[in-house]
Amino acid sequence: MDGVPRVPEQRRPGSSTNAAEPPAALRFSVLGPVRAWRGEEQLPTGSPQQRALLAALLLREGRTATAGELIDALWGEEPPSQALAAVRTYASRLRKVLDPGVLVSESGGYAVRGLAEGALDLAVAQELAAEAEKARNAGDLCHARKVLGRALALWDGEALAGVPGSYAEAQRVRLEEWRLQLLESRLDMDLEQGCHAEAVSELTALTAAHPLRERLRELLMLALYRSGRQAEALAVYADTRRLLADELGVDPRPGLSELQQRILQADPALAEPSAPAPEPTAAPVRPAQLPATVPDFTGRSAFVSELSEVLASAEGRVMAVSALAGIGGVGKTTLAVHVAHQARAAFPDGQLYVDLQGAGPRAAEPETVLGSFLRALGTADSAIPDSLEERSALYRSILDGRRVLVLLDNAKDAAQVRPLLPGTEGCAALVTSRVRMVDLAGAHLVDLDVMSPEEALSLFTKIVGEERVGSEREAALDVVAACGFLPLAIRIAASRLAARRTWTVSVLAAKLADERRRLDELQAGDLAVKATFELGYGALEPAQARAFRLLGLADGPDISLAAAAAVLDLPVDETEDLLESLVDTSLLESAAPGRYRYHDLVRLYARACAERDEWPPSERDAAMSRLLDFYLATAAGVYAIERPGDRLVDHREATEYPGLTFEDRHQARDWLYAEAICLLACVRQCAAPHHLRRAVDLLWTAIDLTESGANSKEYEATGTAMRAAASAAGDQQAEARALVTLANGHHISGRFELADQEAADALRLAEMADDPLPTCWASNMLGVIALYQSRHEDGETHLSRAIESFRSCGDRPGEASALCNLSRIHLAMGQTASAVTLAEQGTGMYDDMGITLKGANGRYALGLALTQSGQLSQAADRLEEALEVFRDSRQRLWEGMTLFRLAEVDLAARRPAQAAANAELALTVLRGIGGEWRRGNVLTVLGRALSDIGQTGRAQVCWREALDIFDALGVPEAEQVRALLHPLALA
């Protein structure tokens, strides 16, 4: 026996069975129509879709296919509404036909398991091909030809014939390509054994069927020449050259051109098959295997310089190795090939290239690659050893003393690369991979990121044309931004536009604007962004794949390690290991220590995978629920540290997943501002009715973000969205609380009428929902807004009610806030003594409770009352104390307003220069926040200070700007400013 499986050795599936074979063994065929047998009996495999399901499972080679993967395999991008039910029906029918336990259900999918050796014709063909390769490497061409012939005989027409679907079509293309490679290998051995005359007719038919396959034409030329038909061999080359020029605009590959020259020169070595060489290696050969560089290579100048410098240092070094890592489609291969071509002159002994297929399901074996490299370097087949170690040693020996550049493209990992490195002085290697090869000793590591916006636009313009892009530059910027500045995506988008003369750039931008369709739009010919990501995703371990899917669900620019642990429901250490492993695959980026992010297109792909593969869908909802719990529990802790005794902490929605705890208010506040954008994104994302109340409470507990300046607009937008969601859901409690946050944000930005209406609506809804917290705070807010609108009696009524409500709830911080606000109402009504008393009461309550931040608001109110009562020194002291806290707490609004109040104190104390300095500083701090009304007040005081120091011109400019603001707002302050301008205008 020669070791070949007995079943396929004598027959194809469906022919007579060997007597020794178990009579009821199942056998399957995919190298032709999809069929199944039990012994001699051919089994019914059902409809074309049912056969497609069986084929998809057989091609998984025992691995589980999820329901989502099977739906995609059967129907592609447009599955029927009952696709999952149909898959289950097909599986049930097949299970009845096949042996028990063969088609199994697990992990929400299906698998074919327990098949006997040799039961699938594809698996047998793979075993035979491997045996043939081994025999050929050992010099036994006769046995290699025989075994390869048996492998090719297993094909029964077109593979997967009659099976519908894009998946089946892709597999047909793959299997046909493999069949042709095996056929070329067998024909090559035919010629090596002198069977050139017999090969001519077969090669003639094959080149007619596959006219662009240059290897077949090369073999035909050689067969014709050895058969004494030199003119016909040269005619094949001429025909090939014309065909390639007409069809593709390229020249024949170097090997074909070299064969033509050898035929013209009547090279004696071509006349007969090669005899075994007496020495391990033949004369040195100079390989030139680099792929062509792209003509529109763009940008990357810093990377080109960096890599070129490393390659230039190869002379005098044991070995120069650069490893480029990055996400699929970022342009690693394009950059490496471009740099390699630029460096060719530094490597006069040749350049080797191989695609290691590391992102695919079957990465190239190092021993196979070494066999190819050794042949390219002039080693006879009979001299190539069998083992990996021996091949690697021979490879390094051949390269000793030579200067060769090796480009190892698309590597799986460092283990695959190590045997392929030259290891000798003067040689260099460029490696590209989606994995960061931190374990490749001595390598110069390069992380390739997406293009800059300028580089991206330049690449897009080169492909589309300056004329089309020049008139729609903004739309072109939208296109490259939608592509995430990923070179592959830009190339695909630009190629689609270039091929459609009726499209404008704006049409393409509109198509890419829809995130749900963006990945589907980014495909052209055999290029597809989704397919590139699919290769990386398919190589992940189950735990990695789950993490990749679930983390993509969360909005926000990035995610912290602690938040990711909540999404995955895993310990932090285990989460960090998972996320770092995803960073190593380039599917995830490390934004900063402890923070991670997706490329925009990768996030869209991760979400698509979650929709397809995360079963049941409730798992996705549970992940987002844990994230919401984490943010709410942590933000509530921050709120409690800043406001001990505030009843919101007790009256918020309950959470199941815990949050972080902090040692002090500084640490807590740092967390809040670091997570602001992600936290607000989570609020907006959790607007569904079953998450709504927790999301609104999260917004309220993060209320300090409204006064930071940096997050005010995002906070207001989020409040608007949550109010709309609560209204749509008919949830009065959630809507009332959302309105409180929204009214607070609008009053801070100076939109008082809007804030007043929202606070009134909040009060009405809170009373209807019998929710005491928004009732208290809405009344407090109505009083504050009435103060700003000079409705002092209304303000006093609202604030008196707020004080009673807070007392009824036992909310002492709220009561203190209302007392301080009432102090300002009394101050505006001329009741200075009571204003001081109320502010002192509120501030004392804050101090008794140890509330630092809100205590600063109390000191602010007390400082105003003391100023008006003439106690300027004490007023300045209280305001300085408040200012220090506001600065420390990053409360830009109140920092700016406190500086403004200090300027008022300075004016009253006849320190106009100091007043002007504080007012100008206030304008700087308040830039972008606080609203125009507050800005107008600060400008008015600044003008008075400038006037007092003799700078009347600048004072008039300030007052005119303030007047324009107040006139636009229609507020009474306008008349006060006119009075200031009037004598100057007369002068």
Instruction: Give the CATH number of the domain where residue 148 resides.
Output: 1.10.10.10
Domain's final residue, options 475, 490, 525: 525
3-state secondary structure 336-357: HHHHHHHCHHHCCCCEEEEECC
Does 27 fall in a domain? yes
Domain's final residue, options 478, 497, 525: 525
Q: Give me the pLDDT at residue 116, please.
A: 83
Name the domain count of the chain.
Answer: 5
Does 650 fall in a domain? no
Does 407 fall in a domain? yes
DSSP 323: E
Read off the pLDDT of each residue in 141-169 and give the average, rounded to a whole number.
88
233 and 312 inside one domain: no
362 versus 627: the higher-pLDDT residue is 627
176 and 72 inside one domain: yes
**Inter-axis angle of helices 505-513 and 473-482, nearest 10:** 30
Global pTM?
Answer: 0.63
166 and 151 inside one domain: yes
Kindly report the CA angle at 347 between 343 and 351, in degrees rounded to 5?
90
Q: Say if CB 586 and CB 327 are below 8 A apart.
A: yes
Alpha-carbon distance of 276 to 383, in angstroms, equals 8
Q: Which residue, among 840, 841, 829, 760, has the nearest Cα to 801 in the 3D structure?
A: 760
3-state secondary structure 814-852: HHHHHHHHHHHHHHHCCCHHHHHHHHHHHHHHHHHHCCH
Does 656 fall in a domain? no
Does 793 fall in a domain? no
Which structural domain range is residue 959 located in? 919-986
In the predicted structure, residue 679 carries a pLDDT above the cut 90: yes
In the predicted structure, residue 602 carries a pLDDT above the cut 50: yes
155 and 229 inside one domain: no
Does 513 fall in a domain? yes
Backbone angles phi, psi at 590, to 5 degrees: -95, 100
To the nearest 10°, report the CA torsion of 623, 625, 628, 634: -90
6 and 135 inside one domain: yes
Q: Say if CB 440 and CB 325 are below 8 A apart.
A: no
55 versus 4: the higher-pLDDT residue is 55
Q: Which residue, among 41, 67, 44, 43, has the nearest Cα to 56 in the 3D structure?
A: 67
Alpha-carbon distance of 708 to 853, in angstroms, equals 13
Q: Give me the pLDDT at residue 944, please.
A: 95
146 and 181 inside one domain: yes
Q: How confident is the model at residue 317 (pLDDT cuts 50, 70, 90)?
A: low
Alpha-carbon distance of 773 to 739, in angstroms, equals 12
Amino acid of residue 740: V
pLDDT in tens, 62-83: 888 888 888 888 888 788 878 8
371 and 416 inside one domain: yes
Does 228 fall in a domain? yes
416 and 321 inside one domain: yes
Does 693 fall in a domain? no
Rounded to the nearest integer, the mean pLDDT of the chain is 87
Read off the pLDDT of each residue in 21-29 and give the average, rounded to a whole number.
70
Which residues 6+ apart lie within 8 Å of 851 measured at CB?
Answer: 642, 643, 644, 645, 813, 816
3-class state of residue 604 by DSSP = helix
Domain's final residue, options 191, 218, 246: 191
To the nearest 10°, report the CA torsion of 787, 792, 797, 800: 60
What are all long-range contacts of 950-959, with beta carbons under 8 Å and residues at least 24 apart?
A: 952/984, 955/984, 956/981, 956/984
Q: How confident is the model at residue 524 (pLDDT cuts 50, 70, 90)?
A: confident
Q: Give me the pLDDT at residue 318, please.
A: 54
Which residues on adjacent β-strands are paired with residue 444?
322
Q: Give me the pLDDT at residue 702, please.
A: 93
Amino acid of residue 792: H
399 and 495 inside one domain: no
**DSSP string of 235-260, one letter each residue:** HHHHHHHHHHHHHTS-PPPHHHHHHH
In the predicted structure, residue 862 carries a pLDDT above the cut 90: yes
Read off the pLDDT of each residue in 252-273 and give the average, rounded to a whole number.
80
211 and 139 inside one domain: no
410 and 320 inside one domain: yes
Q: Give me the pLDDT at residue 715, please.
A: 92
pLDDT in tens, 708-745: 666 888 999 999 999 999 999 999 999 999 999 999 98
CATH number at residue 242: 1.25.40.10
Alpha carbon of 857 to those of 347, 716, 781, 886: distances in Å? 72, 22, 15, 9
Q: Give me the pLDDT at residue 804, please.
A: 94
348 and 475 inside one domain: no
Q: Give me the pLDDT at residue 103, please.
A: 87
End-to-end CA distance of the chain: 118
Which residues on adjacent β-strands are paired with residue 352?
406
